[in-house]
Structure 1
Amino acid sequence: MRLTVLAVSALILTACSQGEEPVAPPPAAPEPAPVLGGVDLTKPVRALGTEPFWSVELTGTEMVYTTPEPPEQRAPQPKAVVQGTTATFEGKTGAGTPLSVTLVATECSDGMSDRTYPLTAMVKVGETSLNGCAASTAAIMSTGESGPVVEKAEPAA
């Protein structure tokens, strides 16, 4: 008798629980923005160098390599591959030329100004290797000709 009561109870519990909707797991937390040397890599970043003068703008959608000699070269900007204190972007220009930008979280001086940048940049365009510095484009545009290249804090509202 006791076995029959247990079996009937188990069947009733099973029948009652079949109508319940499964509980969905909580949504995954958003992945934090990749930050290197205090620079948010999801925002525009500029790498630049001297002798020869060159720059690469990481716009968020494109990598744009420019020198005083035209033409500029453009490649789709991939998501940064971040490993420790290094971030790498690799792509190919519209002409099929490999374009690679490696940013390292080490302070850098461009050798021409008294500016210090939070990132060192190594760029390879085809067979040409270039070394320089990098920071957020906003920081470069808002900093004078000397001192650290850092973004200005937004004034509190």
Structure 2
Amino acid sequence: MKSVLIFSPLVLLLAACASGEESNVPGDAEDTEPYSEIAEDEVLNLIGTEPFWGAIIDGDQMNFSTLENPEGEMIAVTRFAGRGGLSFSGERDGGSVDVAVTPGECSDGMSDHTYPFTATVEIDGEQLQGCAWREGVDDIGPEADTAEEFA
């Protein structure tokens, strides 16, 4: 009898998925192509506050900087294009580094800039929230504002 009780919710869950009902997966349900709004050769700038941090992702390298380390440190990353955005993953001192960049208006909370992407970085077990833009592509305001100045 216990197996029937456990099995029934699973069948209902699978039936809901197969019935075409809306899901929580980003992107259009008909769209199965990887996210392509950010080209592989574009440089991404990421910033965040509280704590202040910045990152520049160029190809398979990310320079991650903080107030304590404004020069930053290079971390090798691997890019993955999902349905609703990009992710980058790597390692730092034996721990994982994960970055998610998704489309959506974002404010750094400190300036009048609105950025076209949100960014989430998980590093050293800490999750950091911020914004992102494509270098030389997205107009975010004065040219003097770069990721290095926010870190």
- TM-score of Structure 1 vs Structure 2, range by shorter chain: 0.5 to 0.7
Contact 1:34 1:40 in 2 (8 A): no
Q: Tell me what 1:45 maps to.
A: 44
What RMSD in Å do the two structures reach over aligned CA positions?
Answer: 2.5
Identity over the aligned pairs, expressed in percent?
A: 30
Cα deviation code 1:117-148 (max 9, x no counterpart): 11000001121110000001234787328xxx
Letter of the 1:59 partner, please give it.
D
- 1:1-157 equivalent positions in 2, closer than 5 A: 35-36=36-37, 39-70=38-69, 72-78=72-78, 80-93=79-92, 95-139=93-137, 143-144=141-142
What is the TM-score of this pair, normalised by structure 2?
0.63
Q: Which moved more, 1:103-112 or 1:64-73?
A: 64-73
Deviations 1:85-105 (A, max 9, x none): 221101012x22321110011
Over 3 Å counting, the alpha-carbon distance change for 1:142 and 1:43 in structure 2 is same
Measured after TM superposition, the shift of residue 34 of structure 1 is: 5.5
- CA–CA distance in structure 1, aligned partners of residues 72 and 43 of structure 2: 18
How many angstroms apart in 1 are the aligned matches of 2:138 and 2:50?
Answer: 19
| Rounded Cα–Cα distance in structure 2 between residues aligned with 1:89 and 1:141 | 23
Which AA in structure 2 matches 1:114?
Answer: D
TM-score (norm 1): 0.61
Q: Per the alignment, do residues 64 and 140 of structure 1 end up closer, same or farther by CA in structure 2, a change over 3 Å counting?
A: farther
Deviation string 1:64-123 (CA, Å, 9 cap, x unpaired) is 110010273321121x21222221101012x22321110011111111111111100000
Distance change in 2, residues 1:142/1:132 (3 Å):
closer
Larger radius of gyration: 1
One-letter amino acid of the counterpart of residue 99, structure 2: V
Q: Which runs of 5+ in 2 are unaligned?
A: 1-33, 144-151
Quick check: 2:43–2:135 contact (8 Å CA) kept in 1? yes
Maintained 8 Å contact 2:100/2:120: yes
CA contact (8 A) 1:108 1:117 kept: yes
